[in-house]
Amino acid sequence: MMFAVLLLAFTCNAFRSSILQQESDADIIEVAVRANGKKASQKNRQASTSAGRKRNNSTSAAKEQTSDADAAVRIWEATLGTPPPWLNTYAQKCFAGYLDVAYHNKEHALDVYGFMLNVFLKDTRKVAWLAKTALALSALCHDYGHPGLNNGFMNKFCDDQIDTALLNPVELSGANAIKAEICSKPQVGGSAGSFMAYTPTSGLAVLPPDANLSFPAFQGCGKTSEGCSSIEETFHASKAAAYWELETFEINRRSSLVRMRKRRKFAAMLKDTVLATDFGYDFALREQLASLKGRAGAELSRHIAMHAADINAASAPNFVWWSASVLAEFARQYHVGGPGPPPAANVHEVAKNQFSWSLGVRALLYASYQALGVNAGYTGKDVLKDGAAVVAADSESSVAVEAFQLLERNILLWRDCAAATKDSADKHPIESNSKSSSVQLREVIIQKTLQACGWAGHPEYGLQLSRW
């Protein structure tokens, strides 16, 4: 009896202190305004309206950033409630940093953010409010200033081993900005560590539901591979933290010592969350997921949500647009002397690799849903055998389920395209060279793929659609 009373007292105290903890956490990111929703909504509306007024005089690039930032606010409101009053300007600053490259652009940032909030953060009580905020803010800035060329390229660029005459002005300015800030100033810490990713290269996805399959196109990178480092992620992370500091400067100024300490902790969490997008961390994450008993702990949950949201595009309605975007950047990297395999020579290779890649994404999403308790009960099993039946049988409707259903559809489509183009691969060549930008290459890959796979009747697969 005594034990029960003590236990009850302890539980109540623990509960109360967790509430208090949450309140003081909320203070750090000034979501105290949540308690006064009207005020915050008014501020956001004012921000939107004044942003709207400015539109007439601004350049089209600035216009886009504003409307993307408005979208970020709208998505937050629809999923998490009243956003912090500075979200719009924080988002604008993030979006302004994205470059016009095929994949790592602001469309990708908004897509990852939308997926994160709708699938992982909307209905979960598993992720604490502070972590939710870190995840949302991270998503917006997580590829800031990405030159469309990856860490392997940046390794060589930092060592002056790239012929800069091959780069276009966008790539050159992006790579130079990262070089100036990061190359000579190594930073330590974060999920993947800085400048060093630690994944083995075996390429086996150790996750259900396809644990027995290997995913040659889904390997991550290895400790000894020249393609591995966190140069770019360190850059993105520093921007996320810097803009958050800037936007909350006033709050920072009047902070007590205790709050200052908590704010520093939040800034570190923000950086760490961005670093979790390092693909070099992928295999280690999969191993942790595979050995997980039950739900993931707080830090692992955050890393899983971030990584899974980052690679969600295989589950998008316009999956060809996303696939072509990634492949165009890889091709571009090859043509400008970065490390990596030669680009896919024909549509058959594209389809085969995308089939494999999508299976890897499926395994990761499946395990992520399980670990984070997203749509518990939905298993997605046996889908490869009969995707349509599973889609029809699932009565539960949510973004999380829809994403999985689209992924199953896309896997089957890639599989069929790979089969259909197998014997006539040379009829569907994809030629590329160093003269085209990644954006131009993307268009070539999209058109070739839609045609060769017999998807011309579904142009939306290759259109830039806004999912959120």
Q: Can you give the binding site for Zn ion, defined by CB under 5 A?
A: 143, 310
Cα–Cα distance list, 1 to 4, 11, 13, 15, 287 (Å): 5, 15, 18, 21, 43
Beta bridge partners of 222: 199
Report the nearest approach of Zn ion to the CB of residue 309 (Å): 9
Q: Which residue has the tokens 């900005």?
A: 177
Distances (CA, A) of 306 to 50, 275, 378, 381, 400: 32, 9, 21, 23, 15
Minimum CB distance to Zn ion smaller for 310 or for 402: 310
Please report the sign of the dihedral spanned by the C-alpha atoms of residue 43, residue 29, residue 308, residue 391.
negative
Between 143 and 272, whose beta carbon lies closer to Zn ion? 143
d(CA 358, CA 410): 8
Q: Which of 271, 277, 329, 325 is nearest to 304 (CA)?
A: 277
Cβ proximity to Zn ion: between 44 and 323 the closer is 323
* Tokens standing for residue 377: 């009960």
Q: Which residue has the tokens 């559809």?
A: 409
Amino acid at 199: T
386: left (phi over 0), alpha (psi -120 to 50) or beta: beta
Contact 239, 246 (CB under 8 A): no
Q: How far is the CB of 104 from Zn ion (least distance, A)?
A: 6
Length of the chain counted residue by residue: 468
Rounded CA separation 148/102 (Å): 7
Q: Closest CB to Zn ion among 175 and 430?
A: 175
How far apart are alpha carbons 276 and 237 in whole angstroms?
10
Q: Which amino acid is at 307?
A: H
Measured from the CB of residue 286, what is the shortest distance to Zn ion in angstroms? 17
Between 247 and 310, CB nearer to Zn ion: 310
Distance CA 133, CA 32 (A): 13
Going from the C-alpha of 244 to that of each of 141, 249, 260, 280, 425, the distances in angstroms are 10, 8, 14, 26, 49
Measured from the CB atom, is 70 or 329 closer to Zn ion? 329
Shortest distance, CB of residue 139 to Zn ion, whole angstroms? 9
Picking from 465, 438, 431, 463, the residue whose alpha carbon sits closest to that of residue 450 is 463
Q: How far apart are CA 441 and CA 329, in angstroms?
A: 8
Using the minimum distance from each CB to Zn ion, give the nearer residue, 43 or 108: 108
Of 107 and 171, which has the nearer Cβ to Zn ion?
107
Query: Of 283 and 455, which CB lies nearer to Zn ion in the complex structure?
Result: 283
Residue 333 CB, shortest distance to Zn ion, in Å, is: 15
**Residue number, 40 or 276, with CB nearest to Zn ion:** 276
Please classify residue 191 by burial: count the beta carbons closer than 10 Å to its beta carbon, then call 0-12 exposed, 13-18 middle and 19+ buried.
buried
Least CB distance to Zn ion at residue 308 (A): 12
Nearer to Zn ion, 70 or 310 (CB): 310
Q: Which is nearer to Zn ion, 149 or 413 (CB)?
A: 149
Smallest separation, CB 148 to Zn ion (Å): 12
Residue 437 vs residues 97, 191, 262, 313: alpha-carbon distances, Å: 19, 32, 44, 21
Residue 349 neighbours by CB under 8 Å, 6+ apart: 425
Minimum Å gap between C-beta 411 and Zn ion is 21
Rounded Cα distance, 184 and 211, in Å: 41
